[in-house]
Each structure stands twice: as C-alpha cells, then as structure tokens.
C-alpha cells in the first residue's frame, strides 16, 4: 500500500487507511485499532504522500524521510520513542536528516514523523518508494 491511501485526520490519533469515498466524505480504517470511521469533507485531512519536511535547501517529501529512517534502523522500528524528551528527538532527527530546518520543524513534527513511521512499520507498510503506477501505465 502506498502513502497515497494513508491519512492523518485532524483531532484524531494515529493514521488511517482510506477505504472508500462517499458523497459526504469517505470511510477510513484506523491503523491503531482497526475501527472504521466516516469522515466528512469539512474535516482537516492530510494525505501522507503530500506532506513534506522543511530542509535548509528544499522541502523533502515525507516518504523520503521515512526511507532515511528505514535505512538508519535497518528496516525496523525506531530506537527512540515519540514520547522521548525534546532534545533526544531533535538529536535523533538530526542523525536521520542533518539538514532539516530547525526553525521550521518543531519537536511536535518530529514526534509525529517518528510515531507515524513506527505505526506504518507495525502495519507492514514499509515500501516508501515512489508509486510505480505512473511509469507502468506509460509503458502500455
């Protein structure tokens, strides 16, 4: 499953998998507990594939940050908890992404990235490469 189908919903903990669209919004399934919820169009929803992290040069897509964490952790969960102290979170993130913009990336953002990465790992969503759908449809 690609990050195009994984959502962060404002005011709700964890991540959600997009199941289907409805006239009034969509149905999503929690990656935390597997419960299905309906989400209205007015909800604040972010698709993980559209999120980027500020670096000193550019904005780096979240999937690339996840890939860097995956390399550092050799495919496993992070060695640090998202509940760790602010300074430990920043030190860890600096190891993963040495050029991240410390003025625009807050400790709360780092917590989310680590929490999301671990949640995706637990759910077996570990392929953070770009979608191959576009290139395969061009070949046909």
Q: Is residue 131 part of a domain?
A: no
Residue 54 has pLDDT above 70, yes or no: yes
pLDDT score for 131: 58
Same domain, 79 and 38: no
Query: Whole-prediction pTM value?
Result: 0.88
Same domain, 28 and 70: no
Residue 17 has pLDDT above 90, yes or no: yes
Q: pLDDT tens digits, residue range 69-105? A: 999 999 999 999 999 999 999 999 999 999 999 999 9
Same domain, 74 and 117: yes
- 130 closest CA partner among 65, 69, 63: 63
Number of domains in the chain: 2
Same domain, 72 and 93: yes
Q: pLDDT tens digits, residue range 34-46? A: 999 999 989 999 9
Residue 135 has pLDDT above 80, yes or no: no
Last residue of a domain, one of 48, 65, 82: 48
Q: What is the C-alpha to C-alpha distance for residues 138 and 127, in angstroms, rounded to an integer?
A: 22
pLDDT score for 132: 47
Same domain, 14 and 36: yes
Q: Is residue 128 part of a domain?
A: no
Q: Is residue 10 part of a domain?
A: yes
pLDDT band with cut points at 50, 70 and 90 for residue 139: very low
**Cα separation values, 24 from 1, 3, 11, 43, Å:** 24, 23, 19, 11
Same domain, 111 and 66: yes
Residue 58 has pLDDT above 80, yes or no: yes
Q: Is residue 133 part of a domain?
A: no
pLDDT score for 112: 95
What's the whole-number average pLDDT of the chain? 90
CATH number at residue 30: 2.30.30
Same domain, 56 and 106: yes
Q: Is residue 58 part of a domain?
A: yes
Contact in structure between 73 and 66 (CB atoms under 8 Å): no
Structure-model confidence comparison of residues 139 and 98, the more confident one: 98
Domain of 113?
A: 52-122
């Amino acid at each position: 499953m690609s990050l195009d189908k994984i959502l962060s919903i404002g005011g709700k903990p964890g991540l959600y998998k997009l199941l289907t669209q409805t006239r009034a919004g969509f149905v999503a399934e929690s990656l935390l507990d597997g419960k299905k919820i309906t989400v209205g169009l007015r909800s604040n929803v972010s698709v993980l594939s559209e999120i980027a992290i500020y670096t000193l040069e550019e904005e780096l897509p979240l999937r690339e940050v996840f890939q860097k964490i995956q390399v550092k952790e050799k495919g496993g969960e992070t060695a640090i908890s998202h509940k760790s102290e602010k300074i430990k979170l920043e030190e860890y993130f600096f190891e993963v992404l040495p050029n991240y913009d410390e003025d625009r990336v807050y400790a709360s953002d780092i917590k989310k990235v680590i929490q999301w990465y671990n949640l995706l790992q637990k759910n077996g969503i570990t392929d953070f490469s770009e979608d191959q759908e576009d290139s395969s449809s061009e070949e046909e």
